[in-house]
Amino acid sequence: MRNAPLNRTGSGRSRQALYRLFDVTCAAAGLLLLMPVMAALAVAILWDDGRPVFFGQTRVGRRGRPFRIWKFRSMRAGGEGSVITAAGDRRVTRTGAVLRRLKLDELPQLFNVLKGDMSLVGPRPEVPEYVRLEEPIWQAVLQVRPGVTDLATLLYRHEERLLGAARDPNTFYRDTVLPAKLVLNLGYLRSRSFRRDLSLIFLTIRYSLFPETFDPDLIRKALGTET
């Protein structure tokens, strides 16, 4: 697969500026509207498992630059183990299981969006140990800011179930799931449009609120992909 630059015209900078304006506006509005919800989630975490409320982790961002991503803590504090989470992981708290099912643990990343480390839509950032900066597909995907959601995240919404069924979840993720997600990311970025981003955000919210309605075929149809 040839990994050509994603922005081929002189309008690339203007397009990026518009995307950034959209990100900042939506992230700021989202934080204001969701602050009561986030406060309630913080109280639930404290009540269930104590401090800390937030979980920070180093991820690889645009052009390979590391940054600190933030989530609501969904696993027991101080617990060690794999950097990936499979279904049935005993580190997940009772409150954390609900947060992860509804993807509410990702809400603090709106602060990452405001800071400029992330975008609303873009490839999900990986931990350094899974990133291969020397590989062309990684170089292409890392041309843009990582996102709170993307096509691969939607289609692999039940990723933890897949990993839970694997004999070696880490190897299965590294050798099977991650390469497939990278191909999805690159394909989406090469045909990206503002309309498709809006559809992707809408579908992300829909399946967070109503996870039982998850339909990958509908996602592919709505976003114009047969991948």
Are 207 and 213 contacting, i.e. CB atoms less than 8 angstroms apart? yes
Residues 165 and 83: their CA atoms lie apart, in Å, by 17
Structure pTM? 0.91
**Residue 29: inside a domain, yes or no?**
yes
**Residue 2: inside a domain, yes or no?**
no
**Residue 49: inside a domain, yes or no?**
yes
Query: What is the total count of domains within the chain?
Result: 1
Per-residue pLDDT tens digits for 114-126: 999 999 999 999 9
**Residue 227: inside a domain, yes or no?**
no
Which residues of the chain register pLDDT less than 70? 1-11, 79, 226-227
Name the DSSP letter for residue 90: T
Are 52 and 77 contacting, i.e. CB atoms less than 8 angstroms apart? yes
- pLDDT, position 75: 96
DSSP per residue over 118-164, as a string? -EEESPPPPPGGG--TTSHHHHHHTTS--EEE-HHHHHTTTHHHHHH
And the tokens for 71?
């989530």
**Residue 4: inside a domain, yes or no?**
no
**Residue 1: inside a domain, yes or no?**
no
- pLDDT, position 172: 97
- pLDDT, position 5: 53
- pLDDT, position 2: 47
Could you tell me the residue range of the domain that residue 175 belongs to?
12-222
**Residue 161: inside a domain, yes or no?**
yes
